[in-house]
Structure 1
Amino acid sequence: MTVNIERPELLGAEILENEVLSASRAPALPRIVGVGTATSATSYSQQEVLDAFGITDPKIRSVFANSAIERRYLTLPAQDDEGNRHPEPQGDLLDKHKALAIDMGAEALQACLKRAGAELSDLRHLCCVTSTGFLTPGLSALLIRELGIDRHCSRSDIVGMGCNAGLNALGVVSGWSAAHPGELAVVLCSEACSAAYAMDSTMRTAVVNSLFGDGAGAIALIAGGEDDPSAVTEGPRILKFASCIIPEAVDAMRYDWDRTQGRFSFFLDPQIPYVVGAHAEITVDRLLQGTGLRRSDIKHWLVHSGGKKVIDAVTVNLGLPRHDLRHTVGVLRDYGNVSSGSFLFSYERLLDEQVTQPGEYGVLMTMGPGSTIETALVQW
């Protein structure tokens, strides 16, 4: 394929046409037309979380203090008459997951639709992402009932994939959107990380407890053909996706059953930031392969707020200036790691800056269990 460097605005359409279609007609490219976020009700500083659980171990306190997080939204166990908080049984945690996922998800979805200039009645596909609990029927069905969404709205649920899952869902729903031009689809990531909060004195638990927070993010898509006069013209087009799984690190991030506590608990290998960082360059290069773009051509980077060491490793391995990850760093500081929806919090902040220009390119990147890296290329 010959890349038209004189008209860079045509690049995304040419890439997708070459890879997906043999016909001469340009495909219906999905555009991002709205975003919205929400959190649970109460935020805590790292010191307040330590105090709430009476943690005095200096090593654990150091983990919290050096997390680059100032505040997180959490729904902690209620205090007893003596002011103590006790571990919650798995059944109560599942109830917490359901309640928070619905509440935050409904708020984020409606904020997203408002920004897109749409109503609930316009929604034609709803894809819900969550990893902090299991629901049958899924979160999509519960939200359709809760919000009175049209019963004929198609839906999908992506459960248990972890922090990378927002981009996995975006890839799937982009395909749906391209097949249904002019129809509105939403990917909703609703993560009640408080429902995965363990309470013990181990360093494994301390690392997890210092990092995650409650949050939901939603992103709206509409596709339209280039020759369609009614096609949406605002918002970045989604051009391409690239993935990388690291099989040798499949156990480095996991959410599994803790027989001692009789509940699920999350595990993060201390080496995971460096494993992810080492594979970030490979994945981005694959994303840009065949586009004629270099990393220096990417004006906007929206990376998952996985933790300070993860962000540092990605920054170093991709050779990015700190300014390029300002939103990723800011979201980590203000919300902690809100799992699959973290990159949507960053995208919302980028839109609020109003700095993007037509023709500019952006890369979205998430990481999670597998271990996996997911990326997407977009163009304004």
Structure 2
Amino acid sequence: MTLTIAPPAALAHPGAPATAPAVELDAADQARIVAVGTAVPPESYSQAELLDIFRIEDPRIRSVFLNSAIDRRHLTLPPTGADGARVLELQGALLAKHKAQGVDMGVRAVQTALKNAGAALSDIGYLCCVTSTGFLTPGLSALLIRELGIDRHCSRLDIVGMGCNAGLNALNAVAGWARAHPGQLAVMVCAEACSAAYVFDGTMRTSVVNSLFGDGSAAIALVAGETAGSVLPAATGPRIVKFASCIVTDALDAMRYDWDSAQDRFSFFLDPQVPYVVGAHAEPVVDRLLAGTGLRRSDIAHWLVHSGGKKVVDSVMVNLGLTRHDVRHTTGVLRDFGNLSSGSFLFSYERLLQEGVVQPGDYGVLMTMGPGSTLETALVRW
């Protein structure tokens, strides 16, 4: 397929004003991220171990795995057969894996986030669940409410199938709910069992995908307002100032997860041109994010970019003029976990907090990229 890399001018909305309206950077009613929690399966594997486990000898495929900038990934591998080889699951088994792993990881991520926030399950007023590695009805939110014993009157939302960018799509919705319900706790959880979404056919197309993704879940807790009745009256953490999005409709088929009749299962397609499409649109969408704030890119102290893959990260770096230090957590998460889909940027956010370098007044940009092709961004301020 041929992808079109649209020029920056193509991003302008026909009705957009010539001068962006001023944005209040520290409004009291803005939603604040008060805690994060992550979870992964207990088993992890190096890329070399995976090549040996699946008995992959093709030098081209081995090169893809070993030059991916990924050291280890947490995965739930297929069972071992009588001959010692892995028995590849049928679609039904993959959906069962998605459900089991999604619930297990989601529960643990939510519990950790609440513990870090000093909050209880009974404090949750809104639960938003994000996943793209399988299909469930009722959705993951209903399963987590039952598993955790969350109040059955809790408002909830399931975002399914939006891919790696979906964490910020969901955060936009959750922040909106928090602002509409000041003082109440909203929780977003991304649960991606990527080992439940694979095709193993020996082609380079599927091998690139199989070399990249890992299993993981991340949850964050939000609260808005400064009301005395807040469940977290002393909450600290960055305020969410603004969001900006861009969907490159000319590249709608560049990343997709759809039915593969030849393999009798769902299969993820990733066009080799994706890194360059994403990179070409990173600058204009960040400019749109900062429009009206009086901020320049040089004012951003912290960049938390989706760990989409080595070429994706490099392309974003080049187009935004970022340094290796700017994306140290992005590349560190890629190295240690692989691409965790929608929750990747929250693993980077967790590492930033653990680093202890954030200062009051610092600005940060969150960025995710995924099918559409889509770029999502958020501006936050500590």
Shared fold (TM-score greater than 0.5)?
Answer: yes
Cα RMSD (Å) of the superposition?
A: 1.4
- What corresponds to 1:368 in structure 2? 370
- What corresponds to 1:37 in structure 2? 38
- What corresponds to 2:76 in structure 1? 75
- What corresponds to 1:316 in structure 2? 318
Within-5 A mapping of 1:8-23: 15-16=23-24
- What corresponds to 1:243 in structure 2? 245
The structure-2 alpha-carbon separation of the partners of 1:136 and 1:254, relative to structure 1 and needing over 3 Å to count, comes to same
* TM-score scaled by length of structure 2: 0.92
Q: Deviations over 1:13-68 (max 9, x none)?
A: x71499xxxxxxx5511000000000012100001111111110000000001100
Matched AA of 1:236: P
SS of the counterpart of 1:93? Answer: helix
Are positions 1:121 and 2:129 aligned together?
A: no
Are positions 1:355 and 2:357 aligned together?
A: yes
Q: Deviations over 1:185-231 (max 9, x none)?
A: 01100000000021111001000000000000001100014x76965
SS of the counterpart of 1:199? Answer: coil
SS of the counterpart of 2:212? Answer: coil
- The answer to whether the 8 Å contact 1:223/1:232 transfers is no
Aligned mates of 1:86, 1:307 — CA distance in 2: 28
- What corresponds to 1:23 in structure 2? none
Within-5 A mapping of 1:98-113: 98-113=99-114
- What corresponds to 1:209 in structure 2? 210
Structure 1 unaligned spans of 5+: 1-13, 19-25
Matched AA of 1:370: G
- How big is the shift at 1:87? 2.1
Aligned mates of 1:88, 1:314 — CA distance in 2: 35
- What corresponds to 2:16 in structure 1? none
Within-5 A mapping of 1:331-350: 331-350=333-352
What number of residue pairs does the alignment pair up?
359
Within-5 A mapping of 1:118-197: 118-197=119-198
* TM-score scaled by length of structure 1: 0.92
- What corresponds to 1:257 in structure 2? 259
- The answer to whether the 8 Å contact 1:224/1:232 transfers is no
SS of the counterpart of 2:177? Answer: helix
Q: Deviations over 1:126-173 (max 9, x none)?
A: 000000000000000000001111111111000000000000000011
Matched AA of 2:264: G
Matched AA of 2:275: P
Aligned mates of 2:323, 2:77 — CA distance in 1: 37
SS of the counterpart of 1:256? Answer: strand
- The answer to whether the 8 Å contact 1:131/1:162 transfers is yes
- What corresponds to 2:304 in structure 1? 302
- What corresponds to 2:65 in structure 1? 64
Q: Deviations over 1:98-145 (max 9, x none)?
A: 000000000001001111111111111100000000000000000000
Matched AA of 2:23: I
Aligned mates of 1:232, 1:220 — CA distance in 2: 14
- How big is the shift at 1:82? 1.1
Aligned mates of 1:97, 1:228 — CA distance in 2: 41
What percent of counterpart residues are identical?
72
The structure-2 alpha-carbon separation of the partners of 1:355 and 1:83, relative to structure 1 and needing over 3 Å to count, comes to same
Aligned mates of 2:37, 2:197 — CA distance in 1: 23
SS of the counterpart of 2:36? Answer: strand
Are positions 1:49 and 2:50 aligned together?
A: yes
